[in-house]
Amino acid sequence: MYMDDVCPAPVKERYWEIDAIRGFSLLAMIAFHTVFLLGVFHIINVDVWLGLGVYLPLGTSVFVIISGTSLILRHGRMLDKPRRAYYMAILKRGIEIMLIGLGVSVIASLLILVFINDGRYVYFNFLQMMGLSMILCIPFLRFGKWSLIPAVSFILLGLFLETIKGPALLMVFGILPPDFYPRDFFPVFPWVGVMLLGVFLGSLLYPNGIRRFNLPSAGKIGQSLALIGRYPLEIYLAHIPVIGSVILVIVVVSGMLGCPIGHL
């Protein structure tokens, strides 16, 4: 069933569970990047601790799914506006996130060149994937629950493309050149499929932006996580510079005091 084009009663409520899940995912991301930066500065053995990286796709998937669900919630808040305005809002936000992600890729690659210089740079990062996936989801938003079909198809396509080697021009789709492994790499496939899973769940659980089930109040923990989850882009952009600066200060001060940190 397709979503109605126009409705005079937009949804005003913000659901705490959506922000809380997003906030939890952000905390997991911060923890992972903290471990990575500790390894960059040789405070811990990063090869050992980054074994936790096998869990990173799971946490990332939760964040991307919630982002897809949020596209449905956005529709609920714009029910009094034409569908074109809804699509244009997503398009504008997607382009904005992609441009920010491009800037992050350039800066991150320069920092990797200075501090690591292992030839593994950032080519299509998380933000670029998120922005493009939002845009690519637009044609499927009308399908509601039926978006599950393209979601599964794109995920399977992404798993298949991982097995193929090709020119660098196809990297955005998940096809890598031989013996080439970039950092912070999130190809469109399968991740656009993961976001469409969120669209499916949003259509199932929040049709027209209205929650179909009851939940207790957030509580203190839920409220704290929800507060974090309301500012995903700001936290994403700020956390690595802040954490990196703190670790750098600790390393410099410990060296000045003659107390090398060593390996934990």
Q: What is the pLDDT of residue 6?
A: 42
Task: Calculate the alpha carbon distances from 234 to 37, 55, 155, 214, 241 in Å.
Answer: 19, 23, 28, 30, 12
Instruction: Kindly list the domain boundaries of the chain, sorted by start residue.
Output: 16-256
The Cα–Cα gap between 264 and 260 comes to 11
Which range of 16-30, 31-45, 169-183 scores highest in mean pLDDT? It is 16-30
pLDDT at residue 50 is higher than 80: no
- 158-193 pLDDT, tens digit per residue, is 999 999 999 988 999 999 898 887 878 899 999 999
Q: What is the pLDDT of residue 96?
A: 97
The Cα–Cα gap between 59 and 24 comes to 9
Which residue has better confidence, 21 or 36?
21
Nearest to 131 by CA among 203, 192, 181, 176: 192
Q: What is the pLDDT of residue 157?
A: 97
Instruction: Say which range, 47-61, 150-164, 245-259, has the weakest mean pLDDT.
Output: 47-61
The Cα–Cα gap between 9 and 164 comes to 48
Nearest to 211 by CA among 93, 76, 58: 76
pTM of the model: 0.87
- 230-257 pLDDT, tens digit per residue, is 999 999 999 988 998 898 888 887 765 5
Which residue has better confidence, 62 or 9?
62
- 134-150 pLDDT, tens digit per residue, is 999 999 999 999 999 99
- 80-126 pLDDT, tens digit per residue, is 888 899 999 999 999 999 999 999 999 988 887 887 777 778 889 99
pLDDT at residue 3 is higher than 70: no
Long-range contacts of 34-43 (CB under 8 A, 24+ apart): 34/243, 37/240, 37/243, 37/244, 37/247, 38/247, 38/264, 40/115, 40/116, 41/247, 41/248, 41/251, 42/263, 43/247, 43/251, 43/261, 43/262, 43/263, 43/264
Q: pLDDT grade, residue 56 (50/70/90)?
A: low
Q: Are 154 and 148 within 8 A, CB to CB?
A: no
Q: Which ranges of the chain does DSSP label H, i.e. alpha helix?
A: 16-40, 46-49, 56-77, 83-115, 126-137, 148-161, 188-205, 219-229, 232-256
First to last CA, the chain: 56
**Percent of the chain beyond pLDDT 90?**
56
For 171, list phi and psi in degrees, rounded to 5.
Answer: -60, -35
Which residues are within 8 A (CB) of 238 and not within 5 positions of it... i.e. 6 or more apart?
none
pLDDT at residue 13 is higher than 90: no
Nearest to 137 by CA among 57, 225, 213, 70: 70
